[in-house]
Amino acid sequence: MKGTSSAVHTVLKIGGGLLGKAGAFELTLEAVTAFRPGRRLVVVPGGGPFADAVREMFKRAKIGEDAAHWMAVLGMDQYAHALAARIDDAALVDAAGGLAAALQAGRLPVLAPYRWLRDADPLPHSWDVTSDSIAAWFAGALGARRVVLIKPADGEHKKLVDSHFLRTLPPGVEHLVVTADDLGQLDVALREGPDRERGRRADQAP
């Protein structure tokens, strides 16, 4: 994993909730395509409507938290397929070998996480654990330095991450939230090293 870890700087979670906000999904894909070049990224999908369907099944069929957990992760796999199909030069991956190959080829890895998580099983099987915490866990597994979460704008300013996120995030790993209403900030959020600091100063200049 050392080669893969050193190659990944940022875990970029693309929220499934973007599918429920008019135009947000398309605008996010455009922003990711525009700002990706030169950045060492891996995309982790959210759950969105796929996870919502599992929540409904959980309530109606009383399937239990273990089944619901893995069904929700499989929902992330479904969204991963959609993202990989729509993002230019993306590669769908489900294991470390595929991730390393995609990075070496200069492609953007979009992670279908079920297989990887099923083998490691690192997180509680609870609705407190969402794709936010899964993205944070992958930051640790891949040795990434930052997690960037793209989410729909929330005018009510509810909590932006799940309650388990900060406990899962490895020490020293930065985390940022970019909303669908402010996707220009994604360019700054994805900058690495000194370039990011120069970008901040430029953005703050009058």
One digit per residue, the tens of pLDDT, for the chain of length 206 reads 444 545 899 999 999 999 999 999 999 999 999 999 999 999 999 999 999 999 999 999 999 999 999 999 999 999 999 999 999 999 999 999 999 999 999 999 999 999 999 999 999 999 999 999 999 999 999 999 999 999 997 654 456 899 999 999 999 999 999 999 999 999 999 999 754 443 333 333 33
Q: Which domain holds residue 166?
A: 2-204
pTM: 0.90
Q: Round to whole Å and give the CA distance between 44 and 11.
A: 7
Given this model, what pLDDT does residue 160 score? Answer: 83
Q: Round to whole Å and give the CA distance between 33 and 37.
A: 8
Question: What DSSP assignment string belongs to 88-154?
Answer: TTEEEE-SHHHHHHHHHTT-EEEE--HHHHHHH--S-SSTT--HHHHHHHHHHHHT-SEEEEEE---
Given this model, what pLDDT does residue 136 score? Answer: 98
- Count of structural domains, the chain: 1
Given this model, what pLDDT does residue 158 score? Answer: 53
Is 47 exposed, middle or buried (CB count within 10 Å of its CB: 0-12, 13-18, 19+)? buried
Distances (CA, A) of 36 to 41, 107, 197: 8, 10, 18
Given this model, what pLDDT does residue 51 score? Answer: 95
Given this model, what pLDDT does residue 6 score? Answer: 56
- Give per-residue pLDDT as tens, 56-101: 999 999 999 999 999 999 999 999 999 999 999 999 999 999 999 9
CATH code at position 152: 3.40.1160.10
Given this model, what pLDDT does residue 144 score? Answer: 97
